């Protein structure tokens, strides 16, 4: 099928190398766009990783953080939060000397702090996924069309604000409302692939197949409602 490239560009879409219609940023991170972003994450370690990397992403290019991800995994014990929670001043010094990651002391300390808070949250909710997935918005809270204008206007959401407040109350750091919404996108709590992007359908199919925590979250009194 022949596509009007000018029309695609205006809609925030582009063609992948193999001719698929995708979000405009797909060529810069094709594997992340096609196989990871927006797909549901229910593994606690990978979820914690995304929380940490979104914190490092704050004020920086996501592509930079993504390109350093394997280095972050090596430096932070593959984001095993039980191990990271035990990091000491010597580990902080080691990380600050590691040129392969982002050497931001506040964000490094935040990662260690958040690992300690993650253990507390695990004891509270049974799993990190169970707690975070309560913030997935219901279908009625999402627009029918995810277009470029929506992307440009939407930096956070009511659910992301609730998540941010709930995390901050529990002592988590670098989890502001904008970061929380970016995290929701990365975890698959929302599917923000643009309407017309072929990955959007694949993400929806993955969500339907996944055994998601809090599947009946909108019928429950969630942790956030107890705040």
What is the token pair recorded at 14? Answer: 């582009």
Q: Which residues, at least 6 apart from 141, have a Cβ–Cβ distance to it below 8 Å?
A: 158, 159
Helix axes 44-57, 105-125, angle to 10 degrees: 150
Question: Which of 37, 49, 62, 66 is the catalytic position?
Answer: 62
Please tell me what DSSP assigns to residue 191.
Answer: -
Handedness of CA 217, 38, 42, 110 (dihedral sign): negative
In the block, residue with structure tokens 């099928």: 1
Residue 32 falls in the annotated catalytic set: yes
Question: Which of 17, 24, 25, 32 is the catalytic position?
Answer: 32
Question: Which of 24, 36, 49, 54 is the catalytic position?
Answer: 54
Please tell me what DSSP assigns to residue 167.
Answer: H
What is the token pair recorded at 227? Answer: 């705040």
195-199: Cβ within 8 A, 24+ apart: 195/145, 195/146, 195/147, 196/8, 196/11, 196/13, 196/21, 197/13, 197/21, 197/22, 197/23, 197/26, 198/20, 198/21, 198/22, 199/22, 199/23, 199/26, 199/33, 199/34, 199/38
Which residues are annotated as catalytic?
Answer: 32, 54, 62
């Amino acid at each position: 099928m022949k596509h009007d490239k000018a029309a695609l560009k205006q809609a925030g879409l582009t063609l992948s190398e193999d001719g698929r219609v995708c979000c405009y940023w797909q060529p810069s991170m094709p594997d992340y766009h096609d196989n990871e972003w927006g797909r549901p994450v229910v593994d606690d370690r990978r979820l914690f990783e995304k929380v940490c990397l979104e914190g490092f992403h704050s004020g920086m290019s996501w592509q930079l953080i993504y390109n350093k991800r394997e280095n972050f995994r090596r430096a932070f014990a593959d984001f095993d939060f039980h191990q990271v929670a035990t990091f000491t001043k010597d580990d902080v010094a080691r990380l600050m000397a590691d040129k392969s990651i982002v050497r931001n002391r506040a964000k490094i300390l935040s990662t260690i702090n958040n690992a300690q808070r993650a253990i507390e949250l695990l004891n509270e909710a049974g799993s990190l996924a169970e707690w975070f997935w309560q913030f997935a918005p219901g279908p009625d809270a999402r627009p029918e069309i995810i277009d470029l204008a929506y992307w440009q206007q939407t930096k956070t959401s009511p659910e992301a604000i609730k998540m941010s407040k709930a995390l901050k109350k529990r002592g988590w750091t670098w989890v502001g409302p904008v970061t929380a919404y970016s995290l929701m996108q990365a975890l698959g709590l929302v599917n923000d692939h643009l309407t017309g992007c072929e990955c959007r359908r694949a993400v929806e199919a993955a969500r339907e197949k996944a055994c998601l925590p809090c599947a009946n979250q909108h019928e429950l009194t969630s942790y956030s409602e107890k705040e």
